[in-house]
Amino acid sequence: MRTQLLGLAAAALTAGTLALPTSPAQAIGGLDSGTISATGTLPTAVAVAGTTPGDAIAAWVRPAPGGFRIQASQGTDGAFALPVNVTPAAVTSATDLQLVANDEGDVAALWIQTIDGDEVVRGARYVGGGQWDGATTLSTVGVTDVDGFDAGIDGAGNVLVLSAIEDGPSDEVHLAVWPHGQDAAAVSPFANQATDATLAVNEAGRAVLAWSSAGVVNKVRVTTRGANGAFTPIDEVPFPNNTMNLEAGIADDGRATVAFLGIDNGAFRLAASDIDLDGGAGFAHMISPAGLQAEPYSFEVARDGRATASWVSTVDGAEALRMASRAPGGSFGGYSTVQTGLSAKVPSLAFARSNGAQVVVHASGSQLTLRHRSNPAFTFATYAAGPADGPFAADADSQGNVVAVSVVDNGGSSYVQGDWLDTTAPTAAVTAPGAQVVAKAFDVTWSATDSLSGVKTTDVISSSAAWNSATFSDPKVVGDNLATGPFHQSAGFGRTYCYEVQSIDKANNLGQRSARKCTAVPLDDTALLGSGWSRAAKSGQFNGTWTTTSTKGRTLTRAGIKAKRLALVANRVPNGGLVEVRWNGTLLKKVSLKGSAATKKAYPIVTWAGLHTGTLTIKVISASGRPVRIDGLVVAK
């Protein structure tokens, strides 16, 4: 890390505008969570949902006597607990397993199950303590087939499920609303002659719903749903040709995007339409290049509105994995090649975050691979995660760390394994000292947290200003690569010290500097000028001295002060006197030094919004005979 921050003006520090250093190249690291399931029969499906930083829940389906059983494991700080049963008893079937989660820790597992020959969407909620509640039906009962579904959850724990239903000649889309805390869901038909349902829900409860209208040309139709349950009028994405494979995403601000594959000159290209807050569908923008198929693909919208897509295209007879990302409110300007020479059109999942990190997860050649870079200007690096002989899943937690799980075929000892990619830097804060320290030395302490790889070291960055200076010194690292605290500071009289801390984790993710925390060390009483006072050494006082009088009218002054805040350090005694403090002749405050204990105390005098320059005068206004004991003056910037 740095030993000094060069070329930074002290004025910039005062204004809080110091430039933040960038993360080191490829400062992303993988963590192996190992086997997260019991060994046994080969799991047929797997899902994962990232929750709070470093936390996730993974679920899988595996054959069991009487049918199939869904199991799950909760991950905390990258480590997964022993698995538990989501379905206590075996179910007849369980396909298309999905997990949805919110920031508050609400999680639901959903799947398609056959009951009495008909398919339905079923769901169970995680209730904490390793327990799941009973399954609830989340689609229309009595239909022949559920072709697929998509689900989302809001910050209140309400789950929305949009299902594509096939019942004889009719293709329909049905919507289920499963309120938090209720055992039953309200299910209703939503669109006729419709397939390929997708939806996304944000924390505030706003949702975007999309589907393909079944006809001679399949069209993408969309609507949005407010947190109050009201829908906007259905709109159609302006695209002239057939579409398929819809994916929806929504940001925290309610702006949404729907991605799809659309025929363009004989090839299915990846396209996207932005959906405004009124539910209006914008023109389709092509993401993948012309003339090449773009499938399979993935599409994700992060909470800040950043959108990311990945897909596979055949280039020169080989399969190439590509990705594109769009900043919030921006457009897809191009694509990057993530990996070439793939032997098959492998599925992938892509993620991009506001810190610049980009991650693409795929499985090829029985290997789960996480390609990553900490900035779009870099080339992709590789984290070889565990084996992957079958289904895999990936998601990002609320900080942007990526968790991936995969099925490993090992005969009768098959299992699910997990990995994390730590893409997020530590957060740090200065915790001490306080606003002033009446001592010649003090300790600087801090807190630093990192949910996955852990904090490696912390730098302490300092700048200071003298009592008669308007500017701070250039900031510099005074505590470099500290594994632990505190940092011990020897202080100068009358100085204001400001501190920031910056931590790096064991994956070399460099955090931003913390907010500044400043403290002031007083001027000693000997720096205050006046006659008729007694100057004496005194044990236990600041700098071992004090200045005393018991005569009315005595004054102490200090000219040339530049301050935003002033405090008087003095001793109180049972019969202590009264002083007034003036600034350039104007009364600021009267301070009584009468108290029950003979102790020194910092008495606040004034706090200004900006820097003030002037002369401070302390005058005894109590009757003679009452002691006044002055120990120092806090002059803070």
Model pLDDT for residues 128-173, shown as the tens digit of each residue: 888 999 899 999 998 889 999 999 999 999 999 999 998 777 799 9
Q: Is the per-residue pLDDT at 24 higher than 70?
A: no
501 and 475 both lie in a single domain: yes
CATH number of the structural domain spanning residue 469: 2.60.40.10
528 and 616 both lie in a single domain: yes
563 and 586 both lie in a single domain: yes
- Residue 6 to residue 549: CA distance in whole angstroms: 48
* Distant-in-sequence, close-in-space partners of 4: CB < 8 Å, separation ≥ 6: 476, 477
Q: Is the per-residue pLDDT at 231 higher than 80?
A: yes
* Span 22-48, average pLDDT: 84
Return the pLDDT at 436: 96
Among 520, 547, 577, residue at a domain's last position: 520
CATH number of the structural domain spanning residue 622: 2.60.120.260
Domain presence at residue 606:
yes
510 and 595 both lie in a single domain: no
Q: What H or E segment, with its residue span, contains residue 603?
A: strand 599-620
Return the pLDDT at 142: 87
- Amino acid present at 127: V
Among 485, 500, 520, residue at a domain's last position: 520
Domain total for the chain? 2
Domain presence at residue 248:
no
Domain presence at residue 16:
no
* Span 475-503, average pLDDT: 97
Burial class (CB in 10 A: 0-12, 13-18, 19+), 40: middle
Q: Is the per-residue pLDDT at 17 higher than 50?
A: no
Domain presence at residue 275:
no
Q: Which residue has the higher pLDDT, 11 or 576?
A: 576
Model pLDDT for residues 530-575, shown as the tens digit of each residue: 999 999 999 999 999 999 999 999 999 999 999 999 999 999 999 9
Phi/psi for 136 (5° steps) reads -125, 140
Q: Is the per-residue pLDDT at 12 higher than 80?
A: no
Domain presence at residue 567:
yes
Q: Which of 132-146, 246-260, 458-472 has the lowest mean pLDDT?
A: 132-146
Q: What is the mean pLDDT of the chain?
A: 93
Model pLDDT for residues 39-60, shown as the tens digit of each residue: 999 999 999 999 999 999 999 9
Structural domain boundaries enclosing 441: 426-520
Model pLDDT for residues 592-633, shown as the tens digit of each residue: 999 987 678 999 999 999 999 999 999 999 999 999 999 999
Domain presence at residue 462:
yes
* Span 256-285, average pLDDT: 96
Return the pLDDT at 215: 75
Return the pLDDT at 252: 96
Return the pLDDT at 216: 66
Domain presence at residue 466:
yes
- Using DSSP, state whether 511 is helix, strand or coil: coil
Local confidence band at 354 (pLDDT 50, 70, 90 cut-offs): confident
Among 495, 520, 545, residue at a domain's last position: 520
Q: Is the per-residue pLDDT at 272 higher than 60?
A: yes
Q: Is the per-residue pLDDT at 412 higher than 90?
A: yes
Burial class (CB in 10 A: 0-12, 13-18, 19+), 61: buried
* Span 25-32, average pLDDT: 76
Return the pLDDT at 23: 35
Q: Is the per-residue pLDDT at 10 higher than 60?
A: no
